[in-house]
């Protein structure tokens, strides 16, 4: 069974293998596969050099908490219910406040490969709910700030939204983006799009 699983991974270039002859002292010649990792596997290692890793995100998506939601896929498809809520009785971001291990894993999965780790001169703010920030690991150059994105968000020269809008309705997305737009002072422009600028005149942000 293990060899079949490894063979499947090799067929997708996740692993590679070579045939090695076995047998000693004139025994019947036999061959077996010896497997090794392909470069893509480096994405699942935490090398500590700021290059990023998918390890925590992979562990999060394969955790028991997330696996339980698959049993409620029917509720999502037929009735439009949230599968996580059906499985655990509350939404994911509420559940995080009661599960410290999941909160830490979620934070690591969302934060590994931070821009600030590769460009130390950039200072960042990790903005999230108080329940999530409470278990957030410390990162050089990153300040954790708790709050509600439907009310106000911290100011900055740029805002990077990772895995945010897909969780909300169109109406909520409009609310979020309007609040994001308030962070940057508006500049008159001939373009049809609203144009925003930070104090650095070379930087512009369009929404």
Active-site residue, from 88, 135, 144, 166: 166
Catalytic site includes residue 121: no
* Cβ count near 174 (within 10 Å): 11
Taking CA atoms, 198 is separated from 156, 160, 162, 182, 201, in Å, by: 8, 15, 21, 12, 7
Radius of gyration of the CA atoms of the chain, in A: 23
Q: How far apart are CA 3 and CA 14, in angstroms?
A: 14
Answer whether 180's CB lies under 8 Å from 156's CB.
no
- Side by side, which strands form the sheet with 195-197? 186-187, 195-197, 204-206
Sign of CA dihedral 188, 189, 192, 194: negative
Answer whether 56's CB lies under 8 Å from 105's CB.
yes
Which are the catalytic amino acids? 166
């Amino acid at each position: 069974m293990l060899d079949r699983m490894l063979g499947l991974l090799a067929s997708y270039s996740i692993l590679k293998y070579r045939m090695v002859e076995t047998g000693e002292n004139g025994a019947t010649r036999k061959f077996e596969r010896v497997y090794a990792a392909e470069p893509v596997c480096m994405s699942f290692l935490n090398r500590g050099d700021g290059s990023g890793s998918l390890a925590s995100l992979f562990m999060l998506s394969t955790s028991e908490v997330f696996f339980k939601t698959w049993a409620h896929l029917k509720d999502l498809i037929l009735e439009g219910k949230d599968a996580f809520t059906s499985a655990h009785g509350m939404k994911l971001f509420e559940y995080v406040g009661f599960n410290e291990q999941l909160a830490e894993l979620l934070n690591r999965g969302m934060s590994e490969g931070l821009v600030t780790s590769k460009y130390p001169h950039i200072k960042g703010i990790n903005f999230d709910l108080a329940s999530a920030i409470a278990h957030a690991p410390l990162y050089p150059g990153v300040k954790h700030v708790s709050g509600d994105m439907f009310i106000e968000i911290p100011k900055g020269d740029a805002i990077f939204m990772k895995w945010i809008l897909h969780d909300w309705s169109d109406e909520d997305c409009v609310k979020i983006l309007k609040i994001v737009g308030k962070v940057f002072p508006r500049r008159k422009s001939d373009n049809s799009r609203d144009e925003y600028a930070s104090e650095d005149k070379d930087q512009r942000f369009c929404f």
